[in-house]
């Protein structure tokens, strides 16, 4: 069954510990961690010290989404901070093959991401070397945006490609996920649906329960 990955970008950082506890208690297994550098994307979020500190009190899998330029410079640091998987953007790498090679040096799952304007064909040469593809449903940089419908076609195409070639990468979808579009996102082939606003706005426990219900109905 597909899984829900809450993005802590939308969390209340004053109460981050309690909110992580609530997510864990709700049975969620994956935490989506958005790192932004103010260069690849306009905004700046947080980095290694924050990840390291929440890592010590959280048993979820840390799915670290690097929205940073030339991420190969920092793979070691994010692995040491506690990343279980690292996602880099193809648009941010001057050499995608080299960046994958940098990730292969560490015990960490490897993922490539594509912005809404990037064709998935750019991923084709690398699909046998990665564990996951992250399809952005919005321009990266901010939570709370509206999903760009075209991006769902990419999920479909990646799902078809994986079946045709016997690949085993997961498909993750990130940006603009709501209770209303989650079913379609899952049915197109998404394994891991990221949600920031839809999880953290209002009552987290209720939101997670509602989103989990949609996933169960769609799978
Ligand atoms: C956007 C981030 C997303 C973001 C999703 O650049 O990568 O993970 O937090 O937020 P929502 O679910 O509010 O679109
Ligand atoms: Zn993200």
* pLDDT per residue as tens digits for the range 157-213: 999 999 999 999 999 999 999 999 999 999 999 999 999 999 999 999 999 999 999
| Burial of residue 16 (number of CB atoms within 10 Å: 0-12, 13-18, 19+) | middle
CA distances from 128 to 84, 110, 125, 166, 212 (A): 19, 11, 8, 9, 30
pTM of the predicted structure, to 2 decimals: 0.98
Q: Between β-strands 85-89 and 109-114, what pairing exists: parallel, antiparallel or unpaired?
A: parallel
CA 137 to ligand 1: nearest atom: 14
Is ligand 1 within 6 A of the CB of residue 175? yes
Q: What is the pLDDT of residues 57-96, one digit of tens each?
A: 999 999 999 999 999 999 999 999 999 999 999 999 999 9
CA distance 46 to 51: 8
* Ligand having the closest approach to the CA of 63: 2
Tell me what the mean pLDDT of segment 5-27 comes to: 97
pLDDT of 114 reads 98
Arithmetic mean of pLDDT over the chain = 98
Which DSSP symbol is given to 26?
A: T
Give the model's pLDDT for residue 219.
Answer: 78
- Which residue, among 78, 120, 116, 122, has the nearest Cα to 97 in the 3D structure? 122
Residues with Cβ–ion distance below 5 A, ligand 2: 34, 65, 174
- CA–centroid distance, 76 to ligand 1, in Å, is 24
pLDDT in tens, 93-106: 999 999 999 999 99
**29-46: average pLDDT:** 98
Judged by its nearest atom, the ligand closest to the C-alpha of residue 87 is 2
Q: Which of 138, 147, 172, 208 to mutate to test the pocket of ligand 1 (most atoms within 8 A of CB)?
A: 138
Instruction: Return the pLDDT at 207.
Output: 98
Average pLDDT, stretch 52-56? 96
**Contact 68 CB / ligand 1 (< 6 Å):** no
* Model pLDDT, residue 144: 97
Q: Which atom of ligand 1 is nearest to the CA of 197?
A: 13
Rounded Cα gap, residues 162 and 172, in angstroms: 13
Tokens of 32: 């989506």
- Ligand 2 center–CA 145 separation, angstroms: 12
34 CA to middle of ligand 2, Å? Answer: 5
For residue 134, the model assigns a pLDDT of: 99
Indicate whether residue 137 lines ligand 1 (CB < 6 A). Answer: no
- Which pLDDT does position 105 carry in this prediction? 98
Tell me, using a 6 A CB cutoff, whether residue 37 lines ligand 1.
no
Instruction: Note the ligand closest to the C-alpha atom of 138.
Output: 1
**Rounded mean pLDDT, 107-120:** 98
Using CA atoms of 199, 204, 207, 212 in order, give the dihedral in degrees to the nearest 10.
80
Residue 112 has what pLDDT?
99
pLDDT average, residue stretch 110-138: 98
144 lines ligand 1 (CB under 6 A): yes
């Amino acid at each position: 069954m597909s899984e829900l990955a809450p993005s802590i970008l939308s969390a209340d950082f004053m109460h981050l510990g309690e909110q992580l506890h609530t997510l864990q208690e709700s049975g969620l297994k994956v935490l989506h961690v958005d790192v932004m550098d103010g260069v690849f994307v306009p905004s700046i979020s947080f980095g290694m010290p924050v990840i390291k500190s929440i890592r010590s009190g959280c048993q979820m899998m840390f799915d670290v989404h690097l929205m940073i330029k030339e991420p190969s410079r920092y793979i070691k640091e994010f692995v040491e901070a506690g990343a279980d998987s690292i996602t880099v953007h193809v648009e941010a790498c001057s050499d995608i093959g080299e960046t994958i090679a940098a990730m292969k040096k560490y015990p960490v799952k490897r993922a490539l991401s594509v912005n809404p304007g990037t064709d998935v064909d750019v991923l084709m040469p690398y699909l046998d070397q990665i564990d996951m593809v992250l399809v952005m449903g919005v321009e990266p940089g901010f939570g709370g945006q509206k999903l760009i419908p075209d991006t769902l076609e990419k999920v479909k195409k990646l799902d078809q490609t994986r079946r045709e070639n016997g690949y085993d990468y997961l498909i993750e979808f990130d940006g603009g996920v709501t209770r209303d579009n989650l079913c379609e996102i899952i049915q197109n082939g998404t394994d891991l649906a990221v949600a920031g606003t839809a999880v953290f706005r209002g009552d987290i426990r209720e939101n997670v329960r509602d989103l989990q219900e949609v996933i169960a109905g769609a799978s």
